[in-house]
Amino acid sequence: MTPATQRLQRDDTQNPGMLWVLEGEALWSRAAGTSAKACADCHGDATRTMRGVAVRHPRFDAALGRPVELGERIAQCRVRQGAAPPAPESAERLALQAYVAHQSRGLPIAPDDDPRLAPFRERGRQFYEQRLGALNLACTQCHDTLAGGRLGGSVIPQGHPTGYPIYRLEWQGLGSLQRRLRGCLSGVRAEPFAPGAVEWVELELFLMQRARGMLLESPAVRP
């Protein structure tokens, strides 16, 4: 990040990701679905009840028998409200996710130690180290071995998921970690998984474990 990008992220009056946070705050208190209830009716004041939630996701869902990431958890809550689940990357889902994640800004990432997550996290690690696509590259080759170098004029980051949902200047909008991962797979000429596939969550589990102790920045700003 250049000093200018860092300043943009740190100033909430200039950080464009805060537009989604403000929309999420409005949605939090707005009745939705056939229940005519708002998120606040069940969860109360998000600044208190959602503090620390984002740094512990993905978490295991006993009903589904697999882990879910924060955006999917929000979609499940919408269904319980009697509303249609917001699609991945939809404005509603990103806004609510940004608002919830923002409540944990500045907290250290603390992955859930639930033993049921272990096999999913291990598959995420294997995927991170697996060569993929026509370019035959693994995530670890860029984000570990070559981190700090340059690719196409851009600095190669370490690939830590500390700022999601994130505002990217390249996108001119907010996006989820899954959107960023799809971009990586496309970049190595590999076929991305379907939206919402468990493979994305497995990789996120590993990345959050890899970033344990780092501070959450959402909504972060990146080039």
Average pLDDT over residues 155-184: 96
155 and 208 in contact (C-beta within 8 Å)? Answer: no
What does the pLDDT read at residue 110?
98
Residue 202 scores a pLDDT above 90: yes
Q: Rounded to the nearest 5 degrees, what angle is found at the Cα of 20, between the Cα atoms of 72 and 170?
A: 95
Q: What is the DSSP string of 94-157?
A: HHHHHHHHHTTTTSBP-----GGGHHHHHHHHHHHHS-BTTTTB-HHIIIIISTTSEETTEEPP
Residue of 39, 139, 142, 184 with catalytic role: 184
Instruction: Give 61's DSSP letter.
Output: E
Please confirm, yes or no, whether 184 is among the known catalytic residues.
yes
What does the pLDDT read at residue 1?
82
Please write the tens of the pLDDT for every residue from 104-115. 999 999 999 999
CATH topology assigned to domain 3-102: Cytochrome Bc1 Complex; Chain D, domain 2 (1.10.760)
What does the pLDDT read at residue 196?
86
8 and 15 in contact (C-beta within 8 Å)? Answer: yes
* Beta strands 220-222 and 166-168, pairing class: parallel
CATH topology assigned to domain 115-211: Cytochrome Bc1 Complex; Chain D, domain 2 (1.10.760)
CA separation, residue 191 to residues 144, 171, 185, 206, 212 (Å): 22, 21, 7, 20, 29
What does the pLDDT read at residue 153?
82
Residue 186 scores a pLDDT above 90: yes
Q: What's the mean per-residue pLDDT of the chain?
A: 96
What does the pLDDT read at residue 134?
96
Residue type at position 115: P
Residue type at position 12: D
Average pLDDT over residues 38-48: 97
Percentage of the chain modeled with pLDDT above 70: 100
CB atoms within 10 A of CB 223: 11
Q: For the chain, how are helix, strand and coil distributed in percent, rounded to 5?
A: 45, 10, 45
Q: Which position has the higher pLDDT, 154 or 54?
A: 54
Residue type at position 32: A
Residue 126 scores a pLDDT above 90: yes
Residue 63 scores a pLDDT above 90: yes
Residue 8 scores a pLDDT above 90: yes
User: What are the sequence ranges of the domains in the chain?
Assistant: 3-102, 115-211
What does the pLDDT read at residue 151?
85
What does the pLDDT read at residue 157?
93
Residue 144 scores a pLDDT above 90: yes
Percentage of the chain modeled with pLDDT above 90: 96
State the pTM of this model. Answer: 0.94
Please write the tens of the pLDDT for every residue from 73-102. 999 999 999 999 999 999 999 999 999 999
CB atoms within 10 A of CB 77: 17
Average pLDDT over residues 45-70: 97
Quick check: do 3-102 and 115-211 share a fold?
yes
